[in-house]
């Protein structure tokens, strides 16, 4: 009988797999090639609260596409592999969903007899965007939001025995409306990617007692060596107790039982603090009891860590972890895949990106306008990665009022219903993710993409979770709020001045974006494949990335507390990833990345002194001319130059020659420049060329340039630092200043 059972199971699995075939695409990952209906995302989906009983509903479902508002179809179009989105290769469908259409899903499931008497919770970890759910022909509920999990108790709708039918309809307006969607568009181009519709994270069932715990969020207090657990429960908790058993690396730390309360705290003697180099986690077993009988039980964990702003010895406001400054260096991580789109092919695939970034020497990831499966954050907790978590942006298109320009004086006036939905989703996402200690910063807005009521949204976010930093917005239109002042500069690097910070920490939320076209690893060879600077040889990419790092070393002692490089991987037409879109080529040798990244974490030492000012801070002072004169870049030359105390207008196609004479008594440890210019630029120290770059373009901020290699040309006494820009690529207000590190 046992042999017959396994034989039938093998036949069923073979038949199911035979019904599935990924849609052919130009690029795929090695993990995507291994995906089958039998192995699609089988891992337990909620590592922050692990119960023993559950049922995974991922696999082949029936699907159909109908006109929006149509009744449930009597026939389905075919099979779709859940949890991969309709448009993806791994779904087996690869079709778009238009705003005037609805996507229908149908599957059947059975509930184990042992679950009888419990609430049966149907969980959707993410469905994009509006979902309506029926069980056995009865409507269970609906949900709006593409990135936050939702659930229903379906026990009242289940049959007493046998198979149950689950039907789901999905409507997704994508970029035809204002809903939070990140970078999805119906017509992919530039920095906007293929739309994602329908189920794109795990669907599952779990039985829970009618009286059970629904939320268990740890809040550490390292100053007082205490951990507080914030609880919520369903059902009648009168007369119940909570038993908690805390261990660390197998050693018992604390075991106690207390009456149920929505806040429980206890001491943790000599706590082991969580940080990137030592991601210490405390494992915790939790039971809810009534008169000694266990009603609910699950495994969880927590970390002892504190996120704050701290001042360093020079008075700069730094990002702090456990009351110590820590430099955040990470990548802009968009989490897209050529075969799964927003859904990683597998947990192993998702973990690959994180491991490689850690090996490269990054300690931070900015999770860019996407919410990952819970397991992603669990991996970050266990690996010791600092996370910045973005809210997926919601607006229509560039040049629409919802796209607030970098110089706009007013925020977008978001329609009331749209604002209500956006804020409900943001709250739900924060509720979902606040458990994870790796998340150290919330980012409600990216640049001006749907930016509205900035101060109110910032203040609400900070008040709702005061244990983390808030960045509102990352880049572009600063409104003077939040914990950080965030610059975006491509390729950069660049930063605000500390005098502009208003007590906030200075961060570079996006920079770099250096592109390399890697043959045979391109999403679409027939379309534009680009970076903010694009190269055809890896040797040039390596040189340019090295220069970015070199330039950033002097920004850190000037107050820079974080930098986020764009980006982890190529995405569709963007080829500015450190790794190709198919994850098969790492473009810069790992050893070089480690070598260049290591100094970033120790670069705060020393004191910066400005030799002359730029217009960012005060009136600039330098001498200039628009024509070449002999020996002008040496101290003994250029007697016909004029002096200025303001930036100088240079028209497109024009040239600029400028210098600053300085006195040196003691040689500096470092020497740098901030430059605002356009065209082919050269910098000289006493007539010696020390830096050059062609086709410099103006951005929102000054470019930072490390001139420390020119220290060997400095002499005690009078020196001349000269700058020339040839053939300006656009109209520009030319300006520069100099500073030294001692």
Give me 626's structure tokens: 């628009």
Q: Name the band, by pLDDT with cuts 50, 70 and 90, for residue 1.
A: very low
Residue 652 has pLDDT above 70, yes or no: yes
3-state secondary structure 576-598: CCCECCCCCCECCCHHHHHHHHH
Q: Name the band, by pLDDT with cuts 50, 70 and 90, for residue 698.
A: confident
**What is the Cα 6 distance to its own chain's centre?**
44
- What would the pLDDT profile of 11-20 be if each residue is shown by its tens digit? 444 555 668 9
Evaluate whether 690 touches 724 at the Cβ level (below 8 Å): no
Which residue carries 């509720």 as its tokens? Answer: 431
Q: What percent of the chain has pLDDT over 90?
A: 87
Of the ranges 323-327, 415-419, 601-605, which is most confident? 323-327
CA-CA distance, 524 to 572, in Å (whole number)? Answer: 7
Query: What structural domains does the chain harbor?
Result: 51-208 (2.60.120.260), 212-302 (2.60.40.10), 324-512+548-562+588-602 (3.20.20.80), 608-741 (2.60.120.260)
Residue 430 has pLDDT above 90, yes or no: yes
Q: Name the band, by pLDDT with cuts 50, 70 and 90, for residue 605.
A: confident
- Residue 283's alpha-carbon distances to 236, 248, 262, 304, 366, in angstroms, are 27, 6, 20, 12, 26
Give me 638's structure tokens: 């250029």
Tell which residue, 227, 255, 224, 330, has the closest CA to residue 566: 330
Residue 6 has pLDDT above 80, yes or no: no
Q: Name the band, by pLDDT with cuts 50, 70 and 90, for residue 709.
A: very high
- What would the pLDDT profile of 454-509 be if each residue is shown by its tens digit? 999 999 999 999 999 999 999 999 999 999 999 999 999 999 999 999 999 999 99
Q: Name the band, by pLDDT with cuts 50, 70 and 90, for residue 170.
A: very high
Residue 118 has pLDDT above 80, yes or no: yes
Q: Positive or negative, the Cα torsion across 614, 615, 621, 626?
A: positive
CB atoms within 10 A of CB 232: 12
3-state SS assignment for residue 351: helix
* Mean pLDDT of the 352-374 span: 99
| pLDDT (0 to 100) of residue 639 | 66
- What would the pLDDT profile of 385-428 be if each residue is shown by its tens digit? 999 999 999 887 777 888 888 889 999 999 999 999 999 999 99
- What would the pLDDT profile of 290-317 be if each residue is shown by its tens digit? 999 999 999 999 999 999 999 999 999 9
Give me 621's structure tokens: 């002072």
DSSP secondary structure string for all residues of 159-179: -SSS-EEEEEEEE--GGGS-S
Give 648's contacts (C-beta < 8 A, 6+ positions apart): 624, 656, 658, 733, 734, 735
* Mean pLDDT of the 517-544 span: 95
Q: What percent of the chain has pLDDT over 70?
A: 97
In our burial notation (b when 16+ CB lie closer than 10 A, e otherwise), range 62-100 reads bbbbeeeeeeebeebeebbbbbbbbbbbbbbbbbbbbee
| pLDDT (0 to 100) of residue 278 | 97
3-state SS assignment for residue 368: coil
- Residue 55's alpha-carbon distances to 52, 58, 206, 211, 667, in angstroms, are 10, 9, 6, 20, 69
Residue 638 has pLDDT above 70, yes or no: no
- pTM metric for this prediction: 0.95
Residue 285 has pLDDT above 60, yes or no: yes
Please, what is the average pLDDT of the chain?
94
DSSP secondary structure string for all residues of 482-513: SSEEEEEESS------GGGSTTPEEEEEEEE-
Residue 8 has pLDDT above 60, yes or no: no
Residue 684 has pLDDT above 60, yes or no: yes
CA-CA distance, 260 to 53, in Å (whole number)? Answer: 23
CA-CA distance, 266 to 120, in Å (whole number)? Answer: 32
């Amino acid at each position: 009988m046992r042999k017959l059972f396994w034989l039938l199971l093998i036949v069923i699995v073979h038949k199911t797999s035979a019904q599935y075939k990924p849609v052919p695409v130009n690029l795929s990952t090695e993990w995507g090639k291994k995906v089958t209906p039998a192995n699609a995302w089988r891992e337990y989906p909620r590592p922050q609260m692990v119960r023993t009983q559950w049922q995974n509903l991922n696999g082949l479902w029936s699907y159909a596409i109908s006109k929006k508002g149509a009744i449930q179809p009597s026939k389905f179009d075919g099979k779709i592999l859940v949890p991969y989105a309709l448009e993806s290769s791994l779904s087996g469908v690869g079709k778009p969903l238009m705003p005037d259409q609805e996507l229908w899903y149908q599957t059947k499931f059975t509930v184990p007899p042992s679950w009888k008497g419990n609430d049966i919770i149907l969980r959707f970890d993410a469905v994009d965007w509006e979902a309506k759910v029926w069980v056995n022909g009865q409507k269970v509920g609906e949900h709006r939001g593409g990135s936050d999990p939702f659930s229903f108790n379906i026990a009242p709708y289940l049959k007493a025995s046998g198979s149950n039918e689950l039907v789901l309809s999905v409507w997704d307006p994508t970029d035809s409306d204002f809903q939070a969607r990140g970078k999805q568009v119906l017509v992919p181009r530039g920095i906007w990617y293929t739309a994602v519709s329908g189920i794109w994270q795990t669907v599952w069932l779990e039985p829970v007692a009618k009286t059970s715990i629904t939320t268990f969020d740890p809040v550490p207090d390292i100053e007082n060596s205490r951990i507080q657990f914030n609880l919520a429960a369903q059902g009648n908790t009168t007369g119940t107790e909570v038993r908690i058993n805390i261990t660390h690396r197998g050693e018992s730390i604390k075991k106690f039982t207390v009456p149920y309360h929505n806040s429980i705290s206890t001491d943790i003697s000599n706590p082991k603090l969580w940080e990137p180099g030592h991601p210490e986690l405390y494992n915790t077993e939790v039971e809810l009891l009534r008169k000694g009988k266990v009603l609910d039980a699950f495994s969880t964990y927590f970390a002892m860590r504190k996120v704050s702003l701290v001042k360093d010895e020079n008075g700069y406001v730094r990002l702090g972890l456990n009351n110590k400054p820590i430099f955040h260096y990470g990548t802009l991580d968009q989490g897209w895949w050529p075969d799964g789109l927003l859904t990683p092919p597998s947990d192993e695939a998702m973990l690959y990106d994180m491991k490689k970034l850690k090996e490269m020497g990054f300690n931070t990831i900015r999770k860019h306008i996407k919410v990952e499966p819970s397991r992603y954050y669990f991996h970050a907790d266990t690996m010791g990665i600092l996370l910045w978590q973005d809210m997926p942006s919601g607006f229509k298109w560039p040049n629409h009022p919802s796209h607030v320009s970098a110089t706009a004086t007013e925020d977008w006036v978001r329609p009331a219903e749209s604002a209500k939905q956006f804020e409900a989703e943001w709250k739900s996402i924060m509720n979902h993710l606040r458990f994870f200690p790796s998340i150290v910063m919330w980012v409600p807005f990216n640049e001006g993409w749907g930016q509205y009521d900035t101060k109110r949204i910032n203040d609400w976010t900070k008040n709702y979770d005061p244990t983390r930093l808030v960045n509102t917005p990352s880049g572009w239109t600063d409104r003077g709020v939040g914990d950080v002042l965030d610059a975006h500069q491509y390729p950069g690097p660049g930063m605000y001045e500390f005098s502009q910070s208003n007590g906030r920490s200075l961060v570079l939320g996006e920079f770099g974006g250096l592109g390399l076209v890697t043959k045979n690893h391109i999403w679409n060879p027939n379309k534009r494949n680009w970076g903010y600077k694009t190269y055809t040889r890896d040797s040039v990419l390596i040189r340019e990335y090295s220069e970015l790092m070199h330039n950033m070393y002097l920004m850190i002692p000037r107050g820079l507390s974080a930098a986020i490089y764009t980006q982890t991987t190529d995405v569709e037409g963007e080829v500015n990833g450190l790794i190709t879109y198919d994850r098969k080529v790492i473009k810069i040798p790992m050893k070089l990345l480690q070598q260049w990244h290591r100094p970033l974490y120790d670069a705060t030492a020393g004191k910066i002194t400005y030799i002359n000012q730029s217009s960012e801070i005060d009136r600039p002072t330098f001498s200039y001319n628009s024509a070449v004169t002999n020996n002008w870049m040496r101290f003994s030359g250029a007697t016909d130059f004029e002096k200025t105390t303001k930036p100088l207008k240079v028209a497109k196609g024009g040239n600029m020659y400028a210098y600053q004479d300085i006195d040196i008594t003691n040689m500096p440890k470092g020497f740098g420049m901030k430059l605002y210019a356009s065209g082919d630029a050269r910098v000289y120290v006493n007539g010696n060329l020390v830096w050059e770059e062609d086709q410099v373009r103006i951005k929102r901020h000054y470019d930072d340039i490390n001139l420390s290699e020119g220290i060997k040309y400095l002499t005690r006494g009078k020196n001349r630092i000269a700058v020339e820009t040839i053939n300006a690529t656009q109209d520009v207000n030319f300006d520069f200043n100099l500073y030294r590190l001692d």
